Amino acid sequence: MNNLPLNKKIILFDGVCNFCNDAVLRVIKHDKKNTFVFTSLQSEIGKKITNHLAIDTERIDSIVLYEPGISYDIKSTAALKIMNDFDGIWKLSQLFFIFPESLRNLVYDFIAKNRYKWFGKKEACMIPTKEIKEKFI
């Protein structure tokens, strides 16, 4: 785990999920401070990170926000912490922290369970364009 970028937050996402890929592109667009880098859960580095964190991706169907050497979050907490790094109206998303994590994750899990049915699925992980390639590890 020594070759992870320093001073970056790593977002692990479902690389074959259309909704997840769109969310990654949205994060890149709003990441004005260049805080985040990305890897799919299905990638070699994604598997190394989830193994290191002892996250069973068969049981936890989730986005992971990992700050190497500091902490990691999953599900709704990860999504809200990501949005907290954005400016403007995105800061309002922090109001959802008033709800208990278990309630937020019920909504998160409902969307996650239905994401392929609602938004579709790719046969393989997204290939980043030249313009955003440096954002992926």
* C-beta atoms surrounding 33 within 10 Å: 9
- The whole-number pLDDT of residue 134 equals 84
* C-beta atoms surrounding 126 within 10 Å: 20
- The whole-number pLDDT of residue 2 equals 67
pTM, 2 dp? 0.89
Cα 118 from Cα 49, distance rounded (Å) = 28
- The whole-number pLDDT of residue 55 equals 92
Q: Say yes or no to pLDDT of 68 above 80.
A: yes
pLDDT in tens, 39-65: 999 999 999 999 999 998 887 778 999
- The whole-number pLDDT of residue 29 equals 92
Structure tokens given for 47: 């598997």
Residue whose C-alpha is closest to residue 82's, from 35, 118, 124: 35
47 membership: H or E segment, kind and range: helix 44-52
Region of 59 (left: φ > 0; alpha: ψ -120 to 50; beta: rest) is alpha
104 membership: H or E segment, kind and range: helix 101-119
